[in-house]
Amino acid sequence: MLFSPKPFRIVKKEAQTTDICLFKLERPRGEKEKLCYDPGEFFQVSVPGVGEAPFSVCSCSHDFIEFNIRGVGSVSNKLLELEPGSYMWLRGPYGNGYPMKDLIGNNLVIIGGGTGVAPLRGVLKYVEKHRADYEKVHVFFGFKRPEEILFKKDMEVWNRIFDLHLTVDKAPKDYKGRVGLVTKIVEESGLNNKNKAVMICGPPIMIKFTIMTLEKLGFNHDQIFVSFERRMKCGVGMCGHCMISGLYVCKDGPVFRYDKVKGVHE
Amino acid sequence: MGKVLEKKRLDAFLRRVSRGADLIAPVKRDTLRFEVVRDYDDICLEGRPLFPIKKFFSPAKQDLFTLNLTKKKLFKEDEIKLKPRVIFGGRLCDFNGLLRLDKLFLSGEYQDDYYRLARENTLLLGINCDPPPSEYCFCESMDLERYYDLFFHDLGDKYYVEAGSAKGEALIMELEDYDFLIPPIRCEKKLDRKDLAKYYDDPAWEKENEKCLSCGKCTAHCTTCLCFDMIDELEPDMKRGKRYKEWDSCQFLNFTLVAGGFVFRKDRLTRFKHRIYHKLQYFRENFGVDMCTGCGRCIEACPRLIDFTEVINKFDQSRV
Closest CA of chain A from B231, distance in Å: 6
Closest CA of chain A from B131, distance in Å: 35
Closest CA of chain A from B17, distance in Å: 32
Facing residue for B232 by CB, picked from A51, A251, A266: A51
Q: What is the CA radius of gyration of chain B?
A: 21
Facing residue for A265 by CB, picked from B105, B110, B200: B200
Partner-chain contact B259 A240, CB within 8 Å:
no
Average pLDDT of chain B? 95
Does the pLDDT at position B320 exceed 70? no
The confidence band for A64, taking pLDDT boundaries of 50, 70 and 90, is: very high
Closest CA of chain B from A266, distance in Å: 7
Task: Note the residue count of chain B.
Answer: 320
Closest CA of chain A from B126, distance in Å: 27
Interface test with A, best of B239, B274, B281, B287 (most A CBs within 10 A): B274
Partner-chain contact A4 B77, CB within 8 Å:
yes
pLDDT at position A153 is 95
Partner-chain contact B67 A48, CB within 8 Å:
yes
Amino acid present at A170: K
Residues from chain B that touch A238, judged by Cβ atoms under 8 A, are 104-105, 110, 112, 226, 228
The confidence band for A200, taking pLDDT boundaries of 50, 70 and 90, is: very high
Measure the CA–CA gap between B224 and B54, rounded to whole angstroms: 7
The confidence band for A1, taking pLDDT boundaries of 50, 70 and 90, is: confident
A74, closest residue in chain B (CA to CA):
B259
Residues from chain A that touch B202, judged by Cβ atoms under 8 A, are none
Closest CA of chain A from B261, distance in Å: 9
Partner-chain contact A241 B255, CB within 8 Å:
yes
- Indicate the SS3 state at residue A227: strand
* Residues B268 and B205: beta-carbon distance below 8 Å: no
The confidence band for B30, taking pLDDT boundaries of 50, 70 and 90, is: confident
Does the pLDDT at position B317 exceed 90? no
Cβ-based neighbours of A92, under 8 Å, separated by 6 or more: A37, A41, A42, A43, A44, A235
- Bond into A54 cis (ω within 30): no
- Indicate the SS3 state at residue A3: coil
Does the pLDDT at position B19 exceed 70? yes
- Read out DSSP for A12-48? EEEE-SSSEEEEEEEPPTT--PPP---TT-EEEEEET
Q: What is the mean pLDDT of residues B194-201?
A: 93
Does the pLDDT at position A20 exceed 80? yes
Partner-chain contact B257 A231, CB within 8 Å:
yes
Q: What is the mean pLDDT of residues B291-314?
A: 96
The confidence band for B263, taking pLDDT boundaries of 50, 70 and 90, is: very high
Residues from chain A that touch B64, judged by Cβ atoms under 8 A, are 1, 3
What domains are defined for chain A?
6-94 (2.40.30.10), 101-224 (3.40.50.80)
Does the pLDDT at position B204 exceed 80? yes
| pLDDT per residue as tens digits for the range B233-255 | 999 999 999 999 999 999 999 99
* Residues B4 and B153: beta-carbon distance below 8 Å: no
Measure the CA–CA gap between A228 and A244, rounded to whole angstroms: 10
Partner-chain contact B228 A238, CB within 8 Å:
yes
Partner-chain contact B264 A230, CB within 8 Å:
yes
- Indicate the SS3 state at residue A101: helix
Residues from chain B that touch A243, judged by Cβ atoms under 8 A, are 250, 274, 278, 282
Facing residue for A229 by CB, picked from B65, B230, B258: B258
Question: CA nearest A124: which of A111, A105, A142?
Answer: A111
Residues from chain A that touch B288, judged by Cβ atoms under 8 A, are none
pLDDT at position A19 is 95
Partner-chain contact B259 A72, CB within 8 Å:
yes
Does the pLDDT at position A191 exceed 80? yes
pLDDT at position B72 is 86
Interface test with A, best of B105, B113, B282, B283 (most A CBs within 10 A): B282
* Residues A124 and A162: beta-carbon distance below 8 Å: yes
Partner-chain contact A239 B230, CB within 8 Å:
yes
Partner-chain contact A239 B234, CB within 8 Å:
no
B246, closest residue in chain A (CA to CA):
A239
Backbone angles phi and psi of B291, in degrees to 5: -95, 20
| pLDDT per residue as tens digits for the range A88-132 | 999 999 999 999 999 999 999 999 999 999 999 999 999 999 999
Question: CA nearest B220: which of B50, B103, B45?
Answer: B50
pLDDT at position A54 is 97
Question: CA nearest B103: which of B145, B71, B65, B63?
Answer: B145
| pLDDT per residue as tens digits for the range B53-83 | 999 999 999 999 999 999 888 999 999 989 9
| pLDDT per residue as tens digits for the range B266-289 | 999 999 999 999 999 999 999 999
The confidence band for B319, taking pLDDT boundaries of 50, 70 and 90, is: low
